[in-house]
Amino acid sequence: MNKQFFLTIALLLTTILSFGQQKIGYINSEELILSMPEAKKADADISAYAKTFQDQLTTMQKELETKYKAYEAGAKTMSEAMLDVKQKELQDLQGRIQSTQQSAEEKVAAKRQELLKPITEKADKAIQDVAKEKGYTYILDASTGALVFATPTDNILKDVKSKLGIKDVAPASNPGGTRSK
């Protein structure tokens, strides 16, 4: 029994000592990615891509408005059959607009993911490299809002930006401290 007690104490001390040796840092990955030149270019490319769909939808919407005004203007003089045909045309055009809008949203989201994937992978690799260089066991992401308190000395954002060759233009927002309630 005495042997088992000392073994338990030794195991407990080993666990406590190994936990005390872990180094935890943090970074705001959103701030990092927004500061990367590649992200700024990707954002501009995504906006230009989305604009092409917006232009197409604007044209379709104008066509719908024009046809609806013509329908309203001629409704009193049209036969029942002609009214049905015109209503069907308007419904079909409205359906195409909705379908085009949904397709556009899906395509823009896919383009966003395609363009941002290599950027986030580059940022992740730089974060991992800095963490290894600085001896961190864990790196927490402050952009998720889960970080309640951190000392500025454990923020690796500056080191990761330096590793990526990004020059600081503005001071980092909320570099550490308590989260407001």
Write the burial class of residue 100 (CB in 10 Å: 0-12 exposed, 13-18 middle, 19+ buried).
middle
Do the beta carbons of residue 49 and residue 108 sit within 8 Å? yes
- 172 inside domain: no
Nearest to 139 by CA among 120, 119, 160, 122: 160
Q: What distance in Å separates the CA atoms of residue 71 and residue 77, rounded to the nearest whole number?
A: 10
Task: Return the pLDDT at 179.
Answer: 38
pLDDT beyond 80 at 171: no
Residue 1 lies in a domain: no
Give the integer Cα–Cα distance in Å for 65 and 36: 43
Which pLDDT does position 120 carry in this prediction?
A: 94
**Residues 24, 137: Cα–Cα separation, whole Å:** 6
Banded model confidence at residue 137, pLDDT cuts 50, 70, 90: confident
What pLDDT score was predicted for residue 23? 84
Segment 69-99, tens digit of pLDDT: 999 998 889 899 999 999 999 999 999 999 9
Model confidence, pTM: 0.67
| Residue 14 or residue 106, greater confidence | 106
Residue 91 counted as domain residue: yes
Residue 14, domain member (yes or no): no
Count how many residues are written for the chain: 181
Residue 17 covered by a domain: no
Packing angle, helices 80-134 and 37-74, rounded to 10: 170
Residue 173 lies in a domain: no
What total of structural domains would you count in the chain? 1
Does 121 score more than 90 pLDDT? yes
Lowest mean pLDDT among 54-63, 117-126, 135-144, 170-179: 170-179
pLDDT at 181: 31
Neighbours of 46 (CB within 10 A): 17
**pLDDT given for residue 180 in this prediction:** 37
- Is 140 in a helix, a strand, or coil? strand
User: Does residue 171 lie within any of the structural domains?
Assistant: no
Best CA proximity match to 27, nearest among 171, 121, 147, 167: 147
Q: Which residue has the higher pLDDT, 111 or 24?
A: 111
CATH code (residue 88) = 3.30.910.20
Q: Which structural domain, as residue segments, surrounds residue 149? A: 22-164
If you average pLDDT over every residue of the chain, what do you get? 84
- What is the pLDDT confidence band of residue 11, given thresholds at 50, 70 and 90? low
Per-residue pLDDT, averaged over 133-151, amounts to 79
Asked whether residue 75 is assigned to any structural domain, the reply reads: yes
Percent residues over pLDDT 90 in the chain: 54
For the residues 143-148, what does the mean pLDDT come to? Answer: 72
